[in-house]
């Protein structure tokens, strides 16, 4: 008899293959005091050296098998390992507290991971938290004399089942043998995104009990479209999923044909489907997946792992590459968005009890113009190499936006006076994340060139619920009528002033939200690159005029579940599932 496990779909596709359990020994660490501090420090040195050797070998293999994208995952850990601050912090705990090396490693790793885990809206920093966990586990394996699971031992086509998949596990996969992935833990984390882009594997995460419910060799169906895993499927289930796999393959081929086409609905309305990017490496993914622009360029990558602020020339060189690479497609660059619990070593910030509502983003830029002005100058200089738009994050009042724009205008005038060329078509807008702005969108729309709705923060502020807090995560409801009404209010206000509206939060890449956002008139959808072709395909199959009854009913619904049911029914009736 078959068994159904439910989880989250982290990467689309269907796989049918036997299970291969990648389950290693636990690495329990207990607090122990020691008398020989020098011996423990020497053990720590050895664990760092052995880990470095292993990671370098894994990195080289990943680069050879999977390319630079996968190797970058391991590079993050090597960078951490070579950072003297990490080693010194662990050594300090050993010496000052007279504890074992393994307990000191655990303490320092827990400290860093607690910080990273709070950074829910920054994929780059989330990836560093995952990397720190993986690195700490490797260091502990050498200190405790425990072998880690080795994915390279897989020598036949199979679906890997694990408690969690680490970045270095991913880097060791052999594309000939790994058919799919299933995990107990996890969400749609960035290293899964990297892996799925590189290997094109169906992935289901967060099943909670896969490693206990599945045995080595069990036949599995991994449904990475709907987030389901079927253990030892029946003949009927196998036939159903073989047909579904064939349909998915046909869809992928059809989506691929959209790469070089415009995204135009059935009634002739053009929508722009763009990519969210955070590094130069993301540009290639965006182009390969048919991005029509960059809807969100996260500039924080230039500031991370630095001991001093990046100079204007360094920033200019980076922005120039982004803008030039997109061949006159629009690049929306967001000014530095850090603060609160997203800290920079070179920018001292006060401790805050509620950092999400604290000193962050444009608030820092306006208070510290020595940070904002060089960044704006670099962006202005890069503008002549393509089509650039500049976006200020976390704006709450009209005064803030006007102050930021005045600084931008001053820097533009200064550059032009010095004979430095600056484009004359730069759009200047803001990320709309705060309900106060949505309420006054009609007035803001008179000043801005565009809005880009940051749905992630906007939703949690609307419901006064931290989406990273598991106790209140149920309140993060993208399809709630309150969210839809807020979005429509913003779109209507902007269009009344002849301005365009984009969305760069996760909601923009949600297929269930697509017909509603289309019907409300959203102009630009910006998302992770892997979602672009799917959303473009949906848009091209729908008619915005025919979506109006669905939008009307959804705006007047009482619950998110009611809206979800209506959208699913609409998609099913129109063969758009």
Active site amino acids: 191, 504
Q: Specify the residue for token string 């950092």.
A: 355
Q: Where are the alpha helices (DSSP H) in 356-480?
A: 362-367, 369-382, 398-417, 435-439, 441-444, 455-462
Helices vs strands, H then E, count in the chain:
22, 16
* b (16+ CB within 10 A) / e for 167-180: bbbbbbbeeebbbb
Distance CA 97, CA 237 (A): 58
Which are the contacts of 450, defined by CB distance < 8 A and separation ≥ 6? 389, 391, 427, 429, 494, 499, 500, 501, 502
Which are the contacts of 367, defined by CB distance < 8 A and separation ≥ 6? 359
Q: Where are the alpha helices (DSSP H) in 235-280?
A: 235-256
Kind of pairing, strands 294-298 and 330-334? Answer: parallel
Contact 140, 29 (CB under 8 A): yes
Distance CA 555, CA 481 (A): 5
Contact 64, 25 (CB under 8 A): no
Q: Cα(first)–Cα(last) distance of the chain, in Å?
A: 28
Distance CA 35, CA 564 (A): 62
Helix axes 37-66, 123-144, angle to 10 degrees: 120
Q: Which residues face 262 on adjacent strands? A: none
Distance CA 467, CA 322 (A): 31
Which pair of tokens denotes residue 119?
Answer: 């950074």
Distance CA 186, CA 177 (A): 23
Phi, psi (rounded to 5 degrees) for 222: -105, 115
Contact 428, 388 (CB under 8 A): no
Q: How remote is the C-alpha of 20 from its chain's centroid?
A: 28
Phi, psi (rounded to 5 degrees) for 176: -70, -25
Distance CA 526, CA 534 (A): 13
Q: Hey, which bits of 433-528 come out as E strands?
A: 450-453, 500-503, 524-527
Distance CA 143, CA 231 (A): 37
Q: Distances from the Cα of 418 to the Cαs of 381, 421, 492, in angstroms?
A: 12, 9, 41
Which pair of tokens denotes residue 150?
Answer: 């080795």
Contact 164, 149 (CB under 8 A): no
The edge-to-edge listing of strands for the beta sheet with 219-223 is 3-6, 228-231, 219-223, 14-21, 158-162, 178-183, 203-205, 8-11
């Amino acid at each position: 008899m078959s068994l159904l496990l439910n989880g989250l779909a982290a990467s689309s596709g269907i796989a049918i293959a036997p299970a291969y359990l990648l389950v290693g020994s636990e690495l329990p660490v207990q607090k122990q005091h020691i008398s020989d501090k020098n011996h423990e420090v020497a053990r720590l040195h050895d664990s760092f050296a052995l880990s470095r050797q292993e990671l370098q070998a894994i990195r080289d293999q990943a680069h050879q098998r999977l390319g630079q994208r996968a190797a970058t995952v391991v590079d993050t850990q090597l960078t951490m390992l070579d950072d003297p601050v990490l080693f010194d912090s662990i050594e300090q705990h050993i010496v000052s507290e007279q504890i074992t090396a393994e307990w000191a490693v655990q303490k320092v790793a827990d400290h860093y991971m607690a910080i990273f885990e709070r950074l829910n809206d920054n994929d780059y920093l989330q990836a560093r938290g995952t990397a720190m966990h993986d690195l700490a586990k490797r260091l502990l394996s050498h200190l405790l004399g425990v072998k880690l699971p080795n994915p390279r031992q897989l020598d036949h086509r199979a679906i890997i089942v694990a408690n969690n998949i680490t970045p270095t596990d991913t880097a060791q996969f052999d594309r000939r043998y790994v058919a799919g992935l299933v995990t107990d833990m996890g969400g749609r984390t960035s290293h899964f995104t990297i892996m799925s882009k590189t290997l094109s594997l169906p992935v289901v995460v967060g099943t909670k009990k896969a490693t206990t419910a599945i045995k080595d060799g069990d036949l599995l169906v991994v449904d990475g479209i709907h987030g389901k895993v079927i253990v030892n499927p029946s003949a009927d289930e196998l036939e159903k999923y073989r047909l579904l796999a064939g349909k998915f393959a046909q869809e992928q081929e059809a989506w691929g044909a959209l790469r070089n086409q415009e995204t135009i609905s059935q009634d002739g309305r053009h929508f722009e489907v763009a990519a969210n990017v955070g590094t130069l490496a993301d540009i290639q993914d965006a182009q390969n997946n048919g991005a029509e622009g960059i809807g969100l360029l996260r500039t924080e990558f230039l500031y991370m792992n630095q001991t001093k602020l990046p100079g204007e020339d360094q920033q200019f060189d980076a922005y120039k590459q982004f803008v030039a690479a997109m061949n006159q497609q629009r690049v929306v660059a967001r000014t530095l968005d850090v603060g609160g619990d997203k800290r920079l070593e070179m920018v001292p910030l006060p401790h805050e009890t509620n950092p999400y509502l604290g000193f962050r983003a444009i608030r820092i830029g306006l208070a510290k113009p020595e940070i904002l002005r060089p960044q704006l100058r670099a962006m202005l200089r890069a503008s002549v190499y393509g089509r650039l738009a500049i976006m200020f994050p976390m704006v709450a009042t009209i005064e803030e936006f006007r102050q930021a724009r005045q600084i931008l205008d001053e820097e533009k005038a200064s550059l032009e006076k010095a004979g430095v060329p600056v484009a004359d078509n730069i759009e200047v807008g803001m990320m709309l994340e705060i309900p106060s702005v949505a309420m006054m969108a009609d007035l803001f729309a008179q000043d801005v060139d565009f809005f880009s709705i940051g749905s992630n923060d906007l939703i949690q502020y609307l419901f006064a619920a931290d989406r990273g807090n598991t106790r209140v995560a149920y309140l993060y409801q993208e399809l709630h009528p309150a969210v839809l009404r807020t979005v429509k209010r913003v779109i209507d206000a902007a269009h009344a002033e002849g301005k365009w509206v984009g969305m760069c939060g996760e909601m923009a890449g949600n297929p269930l939200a697509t017909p509603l956002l289309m019907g409300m008139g959203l102009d630009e959808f910006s998302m992770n690159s892997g979602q672009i072709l799917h959303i473009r395909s949906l848009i091209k199959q729908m008619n915005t005029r025919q979506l109006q009854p669905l939008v009307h009913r959804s705006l007047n619904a009482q619950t998110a579940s009611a809206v979800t049911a209506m959208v699913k029914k609409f998609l099913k009736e129109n063969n758009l599932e």
